[in-house]
Amino acid sequence: MEIHTDNGSKLALVLSEGRRFGRFLVSEMKPKGKIVTPFNVFAAVVLLVAAVLLVIRFTRGLAATTNLSQDFPWGIWIGFDVVTGVAFAGGAYVITFMVYILRLEKYHPIVRITVLNGFLAYVFYAGALLFDLGRPWNVINPIIGNSFGVSSVMFLVAWHFMLYMIAEFIEFSPAAAEWLGWRRVRKLLGSLTLGAVILGITLSTLHQSGLGALFLMAKNKIHPLWYSEFIPILFFVSSIFAGLSMVIVEGTVSQRVFRRQISPEHRAAHDEIIIGLAKVCAGTMYIYFFLKILVFIHGQHWNYINTPMGWWFLVEIVGFVLIPVRLFTQAVRFRNLSLIKVAAVLTLIGIVLNRLNVSIIAFKWYAIEHYVPSWMELEITLGVIVAEILVLRWIVNRMPILREPPGWALDRPEPARKQAFVVKEGERKEWTVTSM
């Protein structure tokens, strides 16, 4: 900013700067690609139907749209959207741990996209909790402090969701500042990153396990093969490889969809990143499998194995933990990237199975009429996912998430990144944005 002594010209400058900024925002609001694409049409239909259903849900109660009952108070809006969605969003805390705490610079290129994904996942999937709450206008009660239910795991989870979203936003915010061209704000926000990362990892440890702890009091309602006092630890450990598998799958999709935005260096490094992540997945999955077996033996549950629920348990444990972890191991050894992707997808299915088993399928497995979600619950869930993808695409197409940050933003106190880009400063290219 230039310094003007004359007040009049100062005002004129502020005004013209304001107008310029306004025009910039307006132009950024416009779509950047073709509007009528198959995906956009699909998204529009899904969102429209979801909007109508939500009006019905909020005017006529949960019974009008969901199959929830007195016996099944929690359906897929909790079991999938929140409990599974948050496990999938675990990549953000694992990657920030690797990059900012362990300083494994190799993974720096995927920090922003992972943090953005994590942040949006919390906003949308934890946000979808509001659809499920019967009295959502009271959702601020545990926050504003007129009634702290400190003995409640739900209280802990609510606070941690809120604080974690703030931490994630701080971690992501430098990219927004770079987009807006706010240099001093960018510098300030950048200096907050490490603190936000430490806060974020701590909160994640607690609320990933906290989501499991929600089910501890449902002791006599969850099948013994899934209920154990170690649910919190199992949820935490599995969130590590769930999050990383999501990063692998999401990264593969991004490499295609946003190909033009990704620098050749990043593209070349991506394979190594994927192999590294697969190693971490394999390691944590072996630990998880070991814990699962330990809990199983400790609980003396052999008698359940040869029952329908026992076979279902084996499907989860063998089909979607043991097989993918073997695939990860093999794939790392032979540097087979497509095998890693297969393993990651199997792992994600396994996480969906596990979270749905604990929260829905093995919950009151003895009930004569078991809960099955209505098409409207599924449609609204799909709407939440589509909305998240649209917002993600909007941001990635505008802010330096996959792209390199603007030149002025590179002189920040992050040694390795600085080194990496200083060399190329002379031959910087503009990465054009053509997809919407």
Q: List binders of another protein among 194-253 (CB under 8 A).
A: 194-199, 201-203, 205-206, 209-210, 213-221, 229, 232
Q: Is 307 in the site for another protein (CB under 8 A)?
A: no
Please, are residues 95 and 114 in contact by the beta-carbon 8 Å criterion? yes
Listed in order, strand segments (DSSP E) in 235-282 are none
Q: Is 417 in the site for another protein (CB under 8 A)?
A: no
Report the nearest approach of another protein to the CB of residue 276 (Å). 16
Taking CA atoms, 186 is separated from 92, 161, 343, in Å, by 21, 25, 38
| Among the listed residues 151, 300, 303, 338, the single contact to another protein using CB under 8 A | 151
| Among the listed residues 5, 7, 27, 147, the single contact to another protein using CB under 8 A | 147
Closer CB to another protein, residue 72 or residue 328? 72
For the chain, give the secondary structure using H, E and C. CCCCCCHHHHHHHHHHHHHHHHHHHHHHHCCCCCCCCHHHHHHHHHHHHHHHHHHHHHHHCHHHCCCCCCCCCCCHHHHHHHHHHHHHCCHHHHHHHHHHHCCCHHHHHHHHHHHHHHHHHHHHHHCCHHHHCCCHHHCCHHHHCCCCCCCCHHHHHHHHHHHHHHHHHHHHHHHHHHHHCCHHHHHHHHHCHHHHHHHHHHHHHHHHHHHHHCCCCCCCCECCCCCCCCHHHHHHHHHHHHHHHHHHHHHHHHHHHCHHHCCHHHHHHHHHHHHHHHHHHHHHHHHHHHHHHHHHHHCCCHHHHCCHHHHHHHHHHHHHHHHHHHHHHHHHHCCCHHHHHHHHHHHHHHHHHHHHHHHHHCECCCCCCCCCCCHHHHHHHHHHHHHHHHHHHHHHCCCCCCCCCCHHHHCCCCHHHHHHHHCCHHHCCCCCCCCC
Closer CB to another protein, residue 167 or residue 343? 167
Subset of residues 165 to 194 that bind another protein, contact rule: CB under 8 A:
167, 191-192, 194
Taking CB under 8 A as the binding criterion, the range among 145-153, 242-250, 259-267, 276-284 that sits at the site for another protein is 145-153
Report the nearest approach of another protein to the CB of residue 12 (Å). 37
Report the nearest approach of another protein to the CB of residue 232 (Å). 5
| Among the listed residues 415, 424, 428, 434, the single contact to another protein using CB under 8 A | 415
Report the nearest approach of another protein to the CB of residue 209 (Å). 7
Subset of residues 112 to 141 that bind another protein, contact rule: CB under 8 A:
129, 132-136, 138-139, 141
Closer CB to another protein, residue 142 or residue 400? 142
Closer CB to another protein, residue 74 or residue 88? 74
Please, are residues 397 and 435 in contact by the beta-carbon 8 Å criterion? yes
User: Which class for 68: exposed (0-12), middle (13-18), buried (19 or more C-beta within 10 A)?
Assistant: buried
Q: Taking CA 234 as the corner, what is the angle to CA 366 and CA 288, rounded to the nearest 5 degrees?
A: 115
Closer CB to another protein, residue 225 or residue 317? 225
Report the nearest approach of another protein to the CB of residue 97 (Å). 8
Q: Is 432 in the site for another protein (CB under 8 A)?
A: no
Closer CB to another protein, residue 216 or residue 433? 216
| Among the listed residues 43, 111, 158, 332, the single contact to another protein using CB under 8 A | 158
Task: Extract the tokens encoding 305.
Answer: 């194995």
| Among the listed residues 89, 156, 189, 246, the single contact to another protein using CB under 8 A | 156
Site string for another protein, 37-76 (x = CB under 8 A): ---------------------xxxxxxx-x-xxxx-xx--
Size of site (CB under 8 A) for another protein = 73
| Among the listed residues 4, 23, 34, 103, the single contact to another protein using CB under 8 A | 103
Report the nearest approach of another protein to the CB of residue 213 (Å). 4
Closer CB to another protein, residue 100 or residue 320? 100
Closer CB to another protein, residue 26 or residue 217? 217
Report the nearest approach of another protein to the CB of residue 344 (Å). 27
Subset of residues 73 to 92 that bind another protein, contact rule: CB under 8 A:
73-74
The closest alpha carbon to 97, from 82, 115, 123, 84, belongs to 115
Subset of residues 314 to 353 that bind another protein, contact rule: CB under 8 A:
none
Q: Is 152 in the site for another protein (CB under 8 A)?
A: yes
| Among the listed residues 101, 253, 297, 378, the single contact to another protein using CB under 8 A | 101
